[in-house]
Structure 1
Amino acid sequence: METKLLNHRKHSDTASAPGLLHDLGFEPFQVWAALLSALVWLLLCGGAVLFSPSAQAQQPTVSSAGDSGVLQAYVQTLLHEQALPSSNDSKNNNHTPWRVEVVLGQLDPRLKLAPCDKVKAYVPSGMRLWGNTRVGLRCEQGAVRWNVFWPVSVKVWGQALVAVNTLRPGASLTQEDLRLAEVDLAAHASPAVLRAQDVVGRTLSRPLQPGQSLRQEDVKARRWFAAGDMVRLTVKGSGFSVGAEGTALTAGDEGQCARIRLDGGRVVCADPVGSRQVEITL
């Protein structure tokens, strides 16, 4: 009895709808036309929002000076796109790959950056991703154009020479004084020494503690000859080599130009390369 009553109510509600619309002055085809028009309007509005340039933009905008997270994302994206230091870039004779670690600093909290719709991250001219460096951030589309620098520390871990024991200035380095260990190659402006044969027999210029990295500036330059010594000059070029004799007017320190007077009286500047030997490369 209850089921029949429910069915009767459903039938009565369904049947009364056309009559109600008719009493209000609407014909059925007018109702369906209005519903269809509303559906089309909603689809068009939704599509306009979905496919608008602002909806499709991939880059977030900087809405205020507090959007440091957005700026940091730009820096991280740039670093991922850059070629970071590799052991293939150096005279790494032990073929051990470097381990690169990038640490982001923080912008000066006192900076008040205006809102920006387009920010570009870049590596400043003359800068390289090595040691303490920085990445530039430039607003290219906004009411106020600004340019700031984000501090970045690039640590490059690789095998280099360290002191075995405490070494004092003036000590002559031996093979037993040094060993290979993993150090941050980019921690100092002076390059780390990678090969013992490059420094054995040379004099230490500053003290080193056990485990401390040996840098090129930590050893004194070799003096291959003194002023007044007779030296052998070799001039090298593409496909030829010419030798001559001369007299050193200045001491022949490694890495520094030495003035040599040739037998004909001409004075040249040559690079000391060995015991009483200098070279000029054309």
Structure 2
Amino acid sequence: MKAVVVLAMGWVVGSHAQASLLPQWRADLQRLTEDAVRAAVPAPAQSSVEVGEPDSRLRLAPCAQVQAFVPPGQSLWGRSRVGLRCLQGAVRWSITVPVHVRVLAEAWAATQPLPAGATLGLEHVVRRRVELTAEVSPALAQAEPPVGRVLARPIEAGDAVRQHHLRQRQWFAAGAPVQLRLAGAGFSIRTEGQALTPGWEGQTVRVKLESGRTVLGQAVGPHEVELPW
């Protein structure tokens, strides 16, 4: 979630002042984050953004033009940070401000406490609204219930079933024949190859084509590899 907006407004007059968000700055940071979140989550999801305060120990020089930005490497998911930097002033400064992003949507949740090693049945999961951003690991939001999946760690009743709860599946072994697919806007290409490395769910795999060329793709299903576009 990346976005940039320029805020053209003055800073307090005088010498270095304690960092504090002006109302206009807070409103623009709020808008910046909300727009980025809405662009990244599905329409049925509900999201909210809470903008915090910068470190009270900071002292900032006067600035006539400030830019809000998302720092490199920051994902606006859960507890994160956005930035403010001075573009026009005697002293150029840059600070970050905490934000808390919450996204609520329907996903699969456990109906009862389950231990690691348990195999999920239909009676173990239910669709309910959960906070997707409560953890970094993605919640399982697909339409099909995760029946037959084995838990890699215990889960409590009511908790969202997340990727890190499940044992990783091996879709195929090294040396196995695989189907490769490449899909883009208005086209889809399929070909065959031989896996040179094991195909673990969601992991990169090396595949040798009939021509002898080696390509990298992602293991996405039984004997299925998706090539990057």
TM-score by length of 2: 0.75
Query: Higher relative contact order by CA 8 Å / sep ≥ 6: 1 or 2?
Result: 2
Per-residue Cα deviation, 1:49-96 (whole angstroms, up to 9, x for no partner):
xxxxxxxxx8342345246141x531322332552424x855x6xx7x
Give the alignment partner of residue 80 of structure 1, picking from 26, 31, 54: 31
Q: CA deviation at 1:279?
A: 3.2
Once the two structures are TM-superposed, the CA of residue 163 in structure 1 deviates from its matched residue by 1.0
- Normalized per residue, which structure has more strand? 2
**Structure-2 residue corresponding to 1:45:** none
> 1:163-242 to 2 correspondence within 5 Å?
163-195=110-142, 197=144, 199-226=146-173, 231-236=176-181, 240-242=189-191
Distance 1:171 1:184 in 2: 24
Contact 1:223 1:251 in 2 (8 A): yes
> Comparing both structures, which one devotes a greater share of its residues to helix?
1
How far is 1:196 from its partner?
A: 5.9
1:61 corresponds to which of 11, 24, 39: 11
Q: Which amino acid aligns with 1:157?
A: L
* Cα RMSD for the two superposed structures: 3.3
TM-score under structure 1 length normalisation: 0.62
Number of aligned residue pairs: 214
CA distance in 2 between counterparts of 1:160 and 1:113 reads 44
Distance 1:111 1:267 in 2: 53
2:95 paired with 1:145: no
Q: Any unmatched runs of 5+ in structure 1?
A: 1-57
Q: Name the amino acid aligned to 1:61.
A: W
- Residues 183 and 213, structure 1, Cα contact 8 Å, conserved in 2: yes
> Which segments of 5 or more consecutive residues in structure 2 lack a partner in the other structure?
1-7
Q: Which moved more, 1:125-134 or 1:182-191?
A: 125-134
Higher gyration radius (CA): 1
**Quick one: structure 1 residues 77 and 227, their matched pair in 2 at CA, closer, same or farther if it must change by over 3 Å?**
closer
- Report the AA paired with residue 241 of structure 1: R
Counterparts of 1:172 and 1:251, CA distance in 2: 23
Distance 1:242 1:166 in 2: 44
